[in-house]
Chain A
């Protein structure tokens, strides 16, 4: 996914952004179900790889779509690609 924010984001802050977004839409239970985890984050290109449960991918997408600001800073998150496994994601990334 790609992140556009008007301030600098590190991995910890991105984690709080994702947790905040999920909690706002789906609550604590949703956070537990989705179980998001940042696998990698490139602060230069503002691109991250997130792992979540397979059946709750639409919940994660909806939560990230509806976020517009965090800590009074504008933020926007786009999901660029969703794959079933990390292996296929790497394959996709190589082919592009």
Chain B
């Protein structure tokens, strides 16, 4: 049975009512795991307070931070600063220089492409992304900054180029309130509308994000030393 994931929930962190509504709706629409976007000022107390209503409903929560660096050096600085603190690290590529570094660096989990990037540069950027999942946010379509036609065209181009280069795609809601949440199968249906195959669309809301979370949790655990090397302590018997 598939376990469904929405890796990007982005509500106001200081509004407990909105967070409670989101947690209830997440349960109703059948999410098993959600990714919560925090900012660099979020304290441990705030994080645990936000996670609490989800945990009581049996929904697993991962902490996430979105980075939007303007240069390569800024990206490397942010990665050093936040990698150990958050479970998911997403980079919004605002230029090709950042996309090249983000696609090569192991510390980056997910890449997304800024909405101001031209079609030519979208193709150029995705061509350089190797094995890093590309994130598509539904909030870009539901609350578009440009006319919806252009947003859909851009996302179609992103998915088309990603498919051509065998780049995995993740679909998440980017919800700021409960009205922007959508059920995982609905998000997959939008993926199909934008050109994904039906199996790939379902994987984009279940298998692909889940594998990222599992891998990162393993890396952040105290057992982890390096790729393929772990400490296992136990009795000699």
Contacts and interface: CB of A to CB of B under 8 A. Distances in A.
Interface of A: 2, 4, 25, 58-59, 61-62, 64-66, 68, 74, 76, 78-80, 82
B179 A61 contact: no
A79 B190 CA distance: 13
A80 B183 contact: yes
Chain B CB count within 10 A is highest, among A65, A78, A82, for A65
B141 A66 contact: yes
Given A4-B179, A58-B198, A25 B193 contact: yes
Contacts of B193: 25, 58-59, 62
B142 A79 contact: no
Contact of A74 (B179, B192, B198): B179
Nearest to B182: A65
A76 B141 contact: no
Interface in B136-194: 138, 141-143, 178-183, 185-190, 192-193
Contacts, number: 51
Interface of chain B, helix or strand or loop or mixed? Answer: helix
Contacts of B25: 78
A58 B199 CA distance: 12
A62 B192 contact: yes
A4 B179 CA distance: 8
B57 interface: no
Given A79-B185, A80-B183, A66 B29 contact: no
B28 interface: yes
Contacts of B142: 66, 68
Interface residues of B, number: 22
Interface of chain A, helix or strand or loop or mixed? Answer: mixed
15 contacts: A4-B178, A58-B192, A58-B193, A59-B189, A59-B193, A61-B186, A61-B189, A65-B182, A65-B186, A65-B187, A66-B190, A76-B180, A76-B181, A79-B185, A80-B28
B58 to A, nearest CB: 16
B185 A61 contact: yes
Interface in B176-220: 178-183, 185-190, 192-193, 198
B186 to A, nearest CB: 4
A59 B192 CA distance: 9
Interface in B4-35: 25, 28-29
A76 B142 CA distance: 10
Contact of B29 (A62, A68, A74, A78): A78
A15 to B, nearest CB: 20
A56 B181 CA distance: 22
A43 B182 CA distance: 21
A36 to B, nearest CB: 14
Nearest to B173: A65
Contacts of A82: 185
B143 A78 contact: no
A48 B173 CA distance: 23
A82 B30 CA distance: 13
